[in-house]
A and B are shown apart, each in its own frame.
Chain A
Amino acid sequence: EVQLVESGGNLVQPGGSLRLSCSASGFTFSNYAMHWVRQAPGKGLEYVSAINSNGGSTYYADSVKGRFTISRDNSKNTLYLQMSDLRPEDTAVFYCVKEPGSSNTIVPYYFDHWGQGTLVTVPS
């Protein structure tokens, strides 16, 4: 069974930093590109970032480019999101998501498994 478990969410002051983690199990983590999607409280879903299977290629939404860094450690089956210069508009539940395709490239895709999410709060 695929499991994605996020951690690291917290209350952080504007301008601060935080690192989210996502521990993956139930599939061959190193074969899949992985993604982060976020959801502000009471709002819709926003695509954040992607990383290919070996970590050599990444993508960022314009809203986080230059502030967030996605990475992975395939030896630990773990995905990361390093967030810096956090703003109140970054307040959201961050979901770690898996795409169904096994590929070394990152391409637009849908998401067949989602973690339960971790809440990041940046007060105004």
Chain B
Amino acid sequence: AQKVTQAQTEISVVEKEDVTLDCVYETRDTTYYLFWYKQPPSGELVFLIRRNSFDEQNEISGRYSWNFQKSTSSFNFTITASQVVDSAVYFCALSVRVTSYDKVIFGPGTSLSVIP
């Protein structure tokens, strides 16, 4: 079965705190892709990162960092020194092969509120 779990439904932090959003996925595929998207209150989906299953290097982009661990099927996302503009719903997603095309499966999302 293909599944993405984001156990944290809602998180509130005070501005400048660090926060980690958890993502656990399930797939039997050996080749797959993992994503994080942000959906701000305005509604659009903002692409944050894509990682393929063969690349376990962690990545840092400004205040954002991602920790991919195949051994635990996790792809966690950390925001350092959070800001009010980080308030949004964050979705972890898994892309797997279905016959001849990719299908993206989203987790339920984590709603992050950053309080000034």
Whether A and B are associated in the same complex: the answer reads no
Q: Which residues of A contact B (CB under 8 A)?
A: none
Interface residues, chain B, CB within 8 Å of chain A?
A: none
